[in-house]
Amino acid sequence: MKSREERTKWFLDDRFGLFIHWGLYAIPARGEWVRSRERLSIEDYQPFFDEFNPIHYDPRAWAKAAKAAGQKYAVLTTKHHDGFCLFDSKLTDYKATNTPAKRDLIEEYVEAFRSEGLKVGFYYSIIDWHHDHYPKYGDRQHPMRDNEHYRGEKIDFNQYLEYMHGQVRELLTNYGKIDVIWFDFSYDEMTGEKWKATELIEMIRSLQPDILIDNRLGGNIMANEPEIYAGDFYSPEQIVPPQGILNEKNEQVPWEACITLNDNWGYAAHDNNYKSPKQVIHALVECVSKNGNMLLNVGPNAKGDIPEESLDILEAVGKWMRQNGESIYGCGASFLSKPEWGRYTQKGNYLYAHVYDRGIGPIYFQGLKGKIKRARLLADGSELKVQTPWMAEQYSDIANGAFIDLPGAELPDEWDT
């Protein structure tokens, strides 16, 4: 079996992926936790199942939008916490093929994204508010149920684990090669072997030896000897780790920050608090400058459309990526510390300067006097002159540096590299 380093090589090269949260919750359109937050019973939620029919669902269009944005892989919810399966599972009736959609939405997603050359990932919720034998475990997870019994029957969690492991087997058997499985999430005492995680991982590795697994089954991916189920990458959420991620041996740990475009993962009709393309680009650069990936989320609506606001942001990011993707793909942290004017990313001997705050005069590169062979503006490939102005000889604190004058007046906002 490949080492984690061998398995994750493509992941560290690709750097930028699309997260997609989609399911029945797109109909109430108040985010993917609506059932729990609003204490909806299974009966209250049933109308969404009865009417789910995403007539506009066109995963090829989704894949083209992701590709144009510069994203190299995608992760789609196969089942979120509400237990609804977008795939034709033989282990439940609570699935898209039994709704008016009458489609295996996952099969179409895999086919479409592979045909556009993107790698394919599955998000799978290990929490399940629908399954008869998933207990409450505290009000946070399952407020619609008591702890011990459901519909008069004593809860047998092993029956749920058999179901969960069985569905993971279906997903990793029936859809060809899958590149990522993104479990979500362990909490309180529900972690590690409570999920029979070792058995689950052994089964996964037997079916898809090279698949990447996130760290949310539990365990400690930063430990000297991580558990077998501690995962291949760390998964910070809605944050870019301030210092990047190192393990107890001070070694780099692959990591991927998952970020929403507005404030919700699942479709929320009234959430217009979208990030700007510049914020997204800066977050992506920050992730890469700290040896991380970014998984940027969209929440398609009940008809199967990615919201226009999200598409507009993806398009603007793609425009920047077409000019500057070289400073993202295959890049990581620089040996240089963060400059005051922005961030560095680096790939071998190539140093990429992401200039956010130009200040006045040329850009100063601490410690690089005589070390810059040539400089080019990524946006248009034009030459940039490396210089050591006369005053540098007089000020010892900048004498070992180099200066590069950026062309013209202020660069357009989006061209910060």
Nearer to ligand FHN, 79 or 343 (CB): 79
Contact between 313 and ligand FHN by CB under 6 A: the answer reads: no
Cα(345)–Cα(116) distance, integer angstroms: 27
Note whether 128 binds ligand FHN by CB under 6 A: no
Nearest to ligand FHN of 80, 145 (CB atom) = 80
Helix axes 105-115, 59-68, angle to 10 degrees: 40
CB of residue 398 to ligand FHN, shortest distance in Å? 44
Question: Exactly one of 185, 195, 233, 403 binds ligand FHN (CB under 6 A); which one?
Answer: 185
- Rounded to a whole number of angstroms, the minimum distance from the CB of residue 402 to ligand FHN is 42
Alpha-carbon separation of residue 278 from 48, 217, 237, 417 (angstroms): 36, 33, 19, 12
SS3 163: helix
404 lies in the site for ligand FHN, by CB under 6 A? no
Kindly state whether residue 124 participates in binding ligand FHN, applying the rule CB under 6 A: no
Question: What is the greatest pairwise CA distance in the chain?
Answer: 85
- Residue 297 CB, shortest distance to ligand FHN, in Å, is 7
- Contact flag: residue 179 with ligand FHN (CB under 6 A): no
Asked if residue 355 lies in contact with residue 373, where contact means CB atoms within 8 angstroms, the answer is: no
CB of 59 to ligand FHN, least distance (A): 19
Torsion of CA 195, 85, 214, 244, to 10 degrees: -130
Q: How many residues bind ligand FHN (CB under 6 A)?
A: 8
Q: Which is nearer to ligand FHN, 89 or 125 (CB)?
A: 125
Between 75 and 392, whose beta carbon lies closer to ligand FHN? 75
Residue 237 CB, shortest distance to ligand FHN, in Å, is 5
Rounded to a whole number of angstroms, the minimum distance from the CB of residue 135 to ligand FHN is: 17
Q: How far apart are CA 291 and CA 64, in angstroms?
A: 27
CA dist., res. 19 & res. 201, Å (int): 22
- Residues contacting 230, CB < 8 A, separation 6+: 215, 217, 218, 219, 220, 221, 223
The answer to whether residue 32 forms part of the interface with ligand FHN (CB under 6 A) is: yes
Q: Work out whether 227 is an interface residue with ligand FHN (CB under 6 A).
A: no
Q: How many CA atoms lie within 13 A of 172 on its CB side?
A: 26
If binding is defined by CB under 6 A, does position 258 make contact with ligand FHN? yes
Q: Does 163 bind ligand FHN (CB under 6 A)?
A: no
**Is the link from the previous residue into 185 a cis peptide, with omega within 30 of 0?**
yes
At its nearest, how many Å lie between ligand FHN and the CB of residue 256?
10
82 binds ligand FHN (CB under 6 A): no
Shortest Cβ 185–ligand FHN spacing (Å): 5
**Taking CB under 6 A as the rule, does residue 237 contact ligand FHN?**
yes
- β-strands 363-365, 375-376: how paired? unpaired
Which of residues 88, 104, 184, 271 is near ligand FHN by CB under 6 A?
184
Q: Cβ(389)–Cβ(373) under 8 Å?
A: no
In the chain, the N- to C-terminal Cα span, in Å, equals 40
Nearest distance in Å: CB 31, ligand FHN: 8
21/343 with CB nearer ligand FHN: 21
**Distance between CA atoms of residues 119 and 139, nearest Å:** 37
Please identify, using beta-carbon distances, which residue of 180 and 398 lies nearer to ligand FHN: 180
**Quick check: 29 and 301 in contact, CB under 8 A?**
yes
CB of 239 to ligand FHN, least distance (A): 11
Q: 104-109 long-range CB contacts below 8 Å, 24 or more apart?
A: 105/22, 105/54, 105/57, 105/59, 106/76, 106/78, 106/171, 106/175, 107/174, 107/175, 108/57, 108/59, 109/59, 109/62, 109/74, 109/76
Beta carbon nearer to ligand FHN, 292 or 362 = 292
Q: Does 271 bind ligand FHN (CB under 6 A)?
A: no
Q: What part of residues 314-373 is at the interface with ligand FHN (CB under 6 A)?
A: none
| By the rule CB under 6 A, 402 interacts with ligand FHN | no
How many of the other CB atoms lie within 10 Å of CB of 348? 7
Q: CB nearest ligand FHN: which residue? A: 265
Residues in contact with ligand FHN by CB under 6 A are 21, 32-33, 184-185, 237, 258, 265
